Structure 1
Amino acid sequence: MTPPSPLSPALSDFSGFSDNSSLSGDDTYIITCYNRLQDAIATLRDEVVRARILHRPSEPLPWAPQLHLLVHFGEHRPLLFRHKLRVNPEIFDDILDLISGHPIFHNNLNNSQLPIAIQLAIFLNRAGHYGNSISLLDVSQWAGVSVGSVVNCTNRVMVALLDQHDAFMGFPPHDSRDFELAQRYSAQASTCPEWQNGILAVDGTTVDLFATPGFFHQAFYDRKSKYSLGCQVSFYLFATVKKLT
């Protein structure tokens, strides 16, 4: 902030004027107004720094959380429970048991966290949907919490789940029924003969083509209305496991 102009050449440095007796009345008035303006700006800046809400509407936003419906869905409408959280009620309980002891959900702050079950429900609701229907504001209204709480709950559950990687991820034994079913599905779904013994496929991404292919271009037309090549990695673990055993 610079003093208003026009200014007298003697006013280039305000800090040196402890005695204003040598200044004219107009110059003294300008200095006084400038100092008051600086004080008002500093006060406003401090108020903005301290404030967490810059605009508080006259009428608060009504909240109608729907989390309590999950209890009814879990007991009587499991399909609706799965529609919201993408897991069965019993799977939800298993995940909750595995992550409840994680230190990320415990702190020594005065403001206690939301119950871990609610945090897990918020995370699963976000993870199981995509697009405009799962914005932070939509989730916060559905759960009856603030947008910041939605972000915090998501981050905490992600940390807890990643630390439980070995408990959640694993391959079935080669002589199990699950291994046999996975191998059978791989043989039916795979179009590559070398992948017939696989039990796991990792989907990749698409690489956009610069121009329409000259031959069989319709085969490269993807669901995003573009011409592209698909990348996919498949692990054929059956032969490897058989060699090791």
Structure 2
Amino acid sequence: MLDRIRNLWQEHLQAISQSRYLQSFYRPPAPSTSDLVARLRYYEKWDLRRWHHWMRMPPYCFDDMLRSIEHNPVFHNNSSRPQMEVERQLAIWIIQAGRYGPGACSIEIAEWTGVSIGTVYNCSRRCMIALMSCHDDAFAPDETQRPGAKKLAEEKSRTPEWGGGILAADGTPVKVFVRPGWYGSDFYGKDKIYAIQLTASHLNNSICTCSNSLSSAHHMGTHPSHP
């Protein structure tokens, strides 16, 4: 049996050597860790897995975001010392935004990106301001999709009274005194408390409030709106 396997292996290697041109894969050395942008672009070309590990998004998405905010006034000042390039500021903020818990603290991000803690804060603040200014362009209402979106929201919430609403907002959980007797476990959320989620939907002539937990609507009331 071993001789047969060895012969098959030799035949397989011979077939490869006769039909393929074997060439070693060349990968240039990675840039220094002090140059964040150069290292990320290196990952984009040679190690896409690491790019996704740090950026949590495809490269084209990062480039689209960069083009949308790079000319925002928040990245310019009247000082003789210009700000850090926008590409690097956006990369620092995305790296922090893609982390959770201790990994998102400014000290960790500052050490990996090679900047100070204050720079991490400033980059995050500027990028969020610039991205919020693109809200109307990114979320422009599409009248052709509005009826389908209303129907989907009505089906998921199981509250047809929301059909004429124009906006829904999920507010702060309202803590209850004790665990509810009915569906008690449904009221226990990530904050480790028993609470009722208060959601408000503004209708044309009234405000509809719905206190629910997860996807179950437990109480609902409609109140006249005041001018």
Tell me the TM-score normalised to structure 2 length: 0.60
Residue 65 of structure 1 and its aligned partner are, at CA, apart by: 4.7
Structure that is richer in helix per residue: 1
Question: How many angstroms apart in 1 are the aligned matches of 2:193 and 2:56?
Answer: 30
Does 2:176 match 1:209? Answer: yes
Q: SS of the counterpart of 1:205?
A: coil
Higher strand proportion: 2
Q: Which residue number corresponds to residue 218 of structure 1?
A: 185
Going from structure 1 to structure 2, the CA distance change for 1:169 and 1:80 (only over 3 Å counts) comes to farther
Is 1:175 aligned with 2:111?
A: no
C-alpha distance in 2, partners of 1:133/1:110? 34
Could you say which structure has the larger radius of gyration? 1
Question: Which deviations, in whole Å up to 9, do the C-alpha atoms of 1:131-163 show, x marking residues without a partner?
Answer: 211111111112111112111212222232233
Partners of 1:186 and 1:198 within 8 A in 2: no
2:87 aligns with: 117
The separation in 2 between residues aligned to 1:146 and 1:235, in whole angstroms, is: 44
Q: Could you tell me whether the CA contact under 8 Å between 2:175 and 2:193 is conserved in 1?
A: yes
- Of 106, 125, 128, 2:76 maps to 106
Contact 1:187 1:197 in 2 (8 A): no
Structure 1 residues 99 and 211, CA gap change in structure 2 (3 angstroms): same
**Displacement of 1:164:** 2.9
* Stretches of structure 2 lacking an aligned partner (at least 5 in a row): 1-31, 205-227
CA distance in structure 2 between the partners assigned to 1:77 and 1:187 by the alignment: 44
Q: 1:71 aligns with which of 12, 28, 41?
A: 41
Task: Compute the RMSD of aligned alpha carbons.
Answer: 3.4
Is the Cα–Cα contact under 8 Å of residues 190 and 196 in structure 1 kept in the other structure? no
Percent of matched pairs sharing the same residue: 34
Which residue of the partner structure matches residue 103 of structure 2? 133
2:198: which partner in 1? 231
Q: How many residues align?
A: 172
1:86 deviation in Å?
A: 3.8
AA of the residue aligned to 2:83: Q
